[in-house]
């Protein structure tokens, strides 16, 4: 079975009982990391929605008409939908479509071109571009050499930054019922003369060459790593999830917001912004273990753009360093100002942990790559200044550092004359929110390790060591007769929603199989006290957390299958309430953690897997900058290969390893054994075979 393939056999349904279902489209989709398309239709026309990661309206303030906007639509006229079939080839970046009166081949090329070929008996249906005029956009049309270019622009006095986009549609050839087109898209962030840039892109299109480059791109992408599972549906969702994530992660200055680049109109929830209390970070949970660190490259752009504002906001709480609101847009776009908010007129929602959460993904990048120059250039300063905030914000009492006034859950809008502070007194005065404890501990461990490797800020080592050693323990209480983690020492005890109470386990990586029986028992009690496998905000952390804790793998796999059954759409997105792209991480992050773990400095092979079910993986990335391949046969790990990218010492937990051989010269190298783990020194860019 080809698990890089998907077939859609009926038109997309975006309504239930006649009402629009949220904003997650069901139609076939594709993207090149910046430009995205979504298939839709009306009664007579095939509609292909166009969106681009950098096309936003920069109207400041929360709940305004600012936010990410659609580019417009490509419409193919007079299509017969009595027959409907779309084949998606993820490893080729190709869509092959068959309708009642036409066939369509389409791909999104790396150069921001949508190339498509329409074939029909007789004359092929006409294609046209239609741009919306909503939200006050100024639209225009220009023609050069028989090619039309449609432009859409936001430039009135309500915006703080002008944005514009141009779309050209060019007929490349027409022959015996087949018409070949190129649609190009350029924004004013691509070029100041974005219209000329769109014309240039269209003029330089070579359909066959673009098709080859597109296929080469996706073949290269999927060659970076792979998993092989008995359950081919889960394996298929693994691959399609990575495809869709890569389809919207490619613009180095404009990473994807809540809904990536499948924006179908101008009115997506929360302005499609960057929500910093898990939504922005969640799509990145799986990219390093899947060996796609290149998808991280745009992540820091909006975070670093917010540095001046972050410093100002930290000062509002009497602290140095950086603090974040709950959300913002690209280029420090203000989607957080709300004059009646109780916290300085800014949407903090009672939480101080947003910047610490933002540090989570670059810390993952650090441990996965140990790329010193990249870290120093791109994120060390941000992590250092976030640690500086917490140096000031933490309070030390009786030898322990505590967190005060930092809510575990959002305090609903925390604003307005009708806001009753007494109703939320526990949240407002929260002590030791458990998710923040996990994030802050990860933050200080990360900055301490980074600083030592880079030889920086040695004057802070003693303080950081003290914080790491003496940060408050995770609070616990008795629930249903079992000791469980409590959401805070003072404040909320428990909530039967979301997975906030488990995020110190995953993604903050503060509890795992090496944590000891006592802590693991508490963690597992907490995990099972409330089954959140189908949580439409938190399954992307709940399911990987189960793997981290080594719970019954059947329980975790059933959770994956239930998510596919309950929320999976024909296009392989998930229709959850919590946001558009964040749940694409659920399947790959969970499967990777089930097959291989490394966050505790030890590579564990198949740590949460049914040993009677064969499985294999190639080139999953482990902390320490190792690429690991292995196969499970007859209940034992075999074919174990480890490539060291940074030349660090490697530790592997595996009972049956007897030799470690350097692949380049087939020479056995020495290793140390400690119980069921072995450790050995490695060289940069060198492969080792473990048998």
In a domain, 547, yes or no: yes
Same-domain check for residues 107 and 181: yes
Query: Which helix or strand (DSSP H or E) is residue 378 part of?
Result: helix 372-378
pLDDT over 70 percentage in the chain = 98
Average of per-residue pLDDT across 678-684: 97
Asked, for residue 518, whether it belongs to a domain, the answer is yes
Looking at the structure, do residues 64 and 213 belong to the same domain, yes or no? yes
Strand partners, 568: 574
Beta strands in 21-112 (DSSP E): 29-31, 35-41, 46-52, 56-57, 67-68, 72-76, 84-89, 94-99, 103-109
**Is 648 found in the same domain as 502?**
no
Q: Are residues 583 and 676 in the same domain?
A: no
Q: What is the pLDDT of residues 272-315, one digit of tens each?
A: 999 999 999 999 999 999 999 999 999 999 999 999 999 999 99
Using CA atoms, how far apart are residues 9 and 97, in angstroms rounded to an integer?
Answer: 10
Specify which residues 466 forms β-bridges with.
none
Contact 219, 91 (CB under 8 A): yes
What is the C-alpha separation between 34 and 236, in angstroms, rounded?
A: 24
Same domain, 514 and 656: no
pLDDT > 90? residue 655: no
Range of the domain at 32: 5-227
Give dist(CA 514, CA 246) in Å, integer.
33
Is 138 part of any domain?
yes
Mean pLDDT of 550-579: 93
What CATH number has the domain bearing residue 655?
2.60.40.1180
Number of alpha carbons in the 13 Å side-chain half-sphere of residue 446: 35
- Do 578 and 648 have their domain in common? no
The DSSP H or E segment spanning 427 is helix 425-428
Q: Give the number of residues written for the chain.
A: 691
Sorting pLDDT into bands at 50, 70 and 90, what band is 421?
confident
Residues 6+ apart with CB under 8 A from 423: none
d(CA 238, CA 443): 29
Confidence band, pLDDT 50/70/90 cuts, at residue 18: low
- 419 pLDDT tier (thresholds 50, 70, 90): confident
Residue 536 phi, psi (nearest 5): -85, 10
- To the nearest whole number, what is the mean pLDDT of the chain? 95
Q: Look-up: residue for tokens 């079910």? A: 613
Q: Which of these three, 212, 227, 242, is where a domain ends?
A: 227
Nearest to residue 487, comparing CAs of 441, 534, 498, 582? Answer: 498
Residue 467 has pLDDT above 90, yes or no: yes
Q: Which of 118, 93, 99, 110 is nearest to 169 (CA)?
A: 118
Q: Inform me whether the pLDDT recorded for 210 exceeds 70.
A: yes
Determine the pLDDT at residue 17: 67
**Does 577 have pLDDT greater than 80?**
no
Confidence grade of residue 432 (pLDDT, cut at 50, 70, 90): very high
603-605 and 650-653 strand pairing:
parallel
| Domain-located, residue 563 | yes
Model pLDDT, residue 22: 61
Judge if 647 and 565 occupy the same domain.
Answer: no
User: What tens digit of pLDDT does each residue of 154-173 get?
Assistant: 999 999 999 999 999 999 99
- Are 548 and 621 contained in the same domain? no
| Average pLDDT score over residue span 34-54 | 96
| Residue 185 falls inside a structural domain | yes
For residue 118, give every residue at least 6 positions away whose Cβ sits within 8 Å of its Cβ, in sequence order, or none.
76, 102, 103, 104, 124, 125, 127, 178, 179, 180, 181
505 inside domain: yes
Give the pLDDT confidence score for residue 21 in this predicted structure. Answer: 60
Question: How large is the average pLDDT for residues 351-379?
Answer: 98
For residue 646, what pLDDT band results from cuts at 50, 70 and 90? Answer: very high
Question: Do 581 and 679 share a structural domain?
Answer: no
* Cis amide prior to 5 (ω within 30 degrees): no
Last residue of a domain, one of 210, 227, 244: 227
CB 45 within 8 A of CB 77: yes
Least Cα distance to 494 among 440, 543, 538, 530 occurs for 530
- What pLDDT score does 121 carry? 85
Q: Are residues 586 and 621 in the same domain?
A: no
Q: How confident is the model at residue 367 (pLDDT cuts 50, 70, 90)?
A: very high
pTM of the model: 0.97
pLDDT at 16 over 90: no
Q: Total domain count for the chain?
A: 3
Burial 3-14 (b: 16+ CB within 10 A, else e): bbebebeebbeb
**One domain for residues 102 and 182:** yes
The pLDDT, as a whole number, for residue 19 is 66
Domain ends where: 168, 200, 227? 227
Does an H or E element contain 662, and which?
strand 660-662
Task: Give the pLDDT confidence score for residue 106 in this predicted structure.
Answer: 98
> Are both 516 and 645 inside the same structural domain?
no
pLDDT value for 246: 98
Whether 175 is in a domain gets the answer yes
Residue 214 pLDDT > 80, yes or no?
Answer: yes
């Amino acid at each position: 079975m080809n698990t890089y393939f998907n077939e859609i056999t009926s038109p997309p349904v975006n309504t239930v009982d006649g009402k629009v279902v949220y904003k997650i489209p069901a139609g076939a989709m594709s993207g090149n990391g910046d430009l995205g398309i979504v298939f839709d239709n009306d009664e007579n026309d095939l509609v292909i929605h166009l969106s681009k990661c950098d096309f936003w309206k920069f109207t400041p303030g929360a709940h305004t008409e600012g936010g990410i906007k659609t580019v417009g639509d490509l419409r193919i006229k007079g299509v017969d939908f009595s027959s409907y079939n779309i084949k998606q080839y993820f490893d080729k970046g190709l869509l092959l479509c068959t309708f009642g009166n036409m066939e369509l081949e389409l791909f999104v090329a790396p150069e921001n071109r949508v190339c498509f070929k329409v074939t029909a008996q007789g004359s092929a249906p006409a294609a046209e571009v239609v741009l919306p005029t909503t939200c006050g956009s100024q639209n225009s049309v220009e023609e050069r050499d028989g090619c039309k270019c449609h432009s859409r622009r936001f430039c009135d006095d309500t915006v703080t930054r002008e944005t514009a986009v141009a779309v050209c549609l060019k007929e490349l050839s027409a022959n015996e019922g087949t018409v070949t087109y190129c649609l190009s898209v350029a924004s004013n962030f691509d070029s100041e003369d974005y219209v000329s840039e769109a014309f240039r892109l269209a003029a330089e299109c070579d359909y066959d060459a673009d098709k080859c480059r597109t296929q080469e791109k996706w073949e290269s992408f999927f060659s970076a790593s792979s998993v092989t599972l008995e359950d081919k549906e889960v394996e298929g969702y693994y691959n399609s999830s990575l495809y869709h994530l890569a389809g919207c992660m490619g613009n180095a200055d404009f990473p994807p917001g809540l809904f990536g680049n499948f924006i179908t109109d101008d009115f997506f929830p929360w302005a499609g912004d960057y929500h910093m209390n898990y939504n922005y970070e969640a799509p990145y949970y799986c990219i390093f273990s899947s060996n796609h660190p290149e998808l991280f490259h745009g992540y820091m752009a909006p975070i670093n753009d917010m540095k001046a504002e972050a410093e100002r906001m930290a000062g509002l709480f009497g602290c140095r360093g950086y603090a974040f609101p709950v959300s913002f847009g690209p280029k420090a776009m203000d989607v957080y100002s709300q004059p009646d908010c109780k916290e300085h007129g800014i949407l903090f929602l009672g939480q101080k942990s947003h910047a610490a959460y933002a540090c989570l993904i670059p810390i993952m990048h650090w441990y996965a790559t140990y790329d010193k120059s990249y870290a120093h250039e791109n994120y060390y300063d941000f992590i250092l200044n976030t640690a500086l905030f917490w140096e000031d914000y933490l309070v030390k009492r009786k030898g322990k550092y505590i967190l005060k006034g930092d809510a575990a859950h959002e305090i609903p809008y925390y604003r307005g004359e009708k806001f009753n502070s007494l109703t939320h007194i526990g949240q407002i005065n929260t002590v030791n929110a458990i998710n923040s404890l996990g994030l802050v501990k990860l933050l200080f461990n990360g900055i301490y390790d980074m600083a030592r490797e880079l030889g920086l800020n040695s004057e802070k080592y003693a303080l950081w060591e003290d914080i790491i050693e003496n940060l408050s323990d995770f609070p616990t209480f008795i629930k249903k007769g079992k000791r469980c983690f409590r959401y805070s020492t003072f404040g909320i005890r428990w909530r039967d929603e979301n997975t906030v109470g488990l995020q110190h386990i995953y993604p903050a990586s503060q509890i795992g199989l090496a944590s000891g029986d006592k802590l693991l028992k508490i963690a597992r009690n907490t995990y099972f006290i409330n089954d959140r496998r189908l949580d439409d905000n938190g399954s992307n952390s709940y399911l990987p957390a189960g793997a981290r804790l080594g719970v019954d793998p059947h329980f975790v796999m059933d959770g994956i299958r239930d998510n596919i059954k309950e929320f999976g759409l024909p296009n392989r997105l998930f229709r959850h309430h919590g946001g558009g792209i964040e749940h694409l991480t659920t399947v790959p992050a969970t499967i990777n953690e089930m097959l291989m773990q490394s966050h505790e400095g030890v590579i564990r092979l198949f740590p949460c897997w049914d040993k009677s079910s064969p499985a294999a993986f190639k080139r999953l990335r482990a902390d320490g900058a190792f690429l690991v391949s292995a196969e499970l046969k007859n209940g034992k790990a075999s074919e174990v290969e480890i490539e060291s990218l940074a030349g660090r010492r490697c530790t592997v937990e595996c009972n049956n390893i007897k030799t470690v051989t350097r692949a380049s010269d087939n020479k056995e190298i020495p290793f140390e054994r400690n119980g069921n783990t072995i450790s050995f020194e490695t060289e940069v860019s060198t492969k080792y075979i473990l048998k």
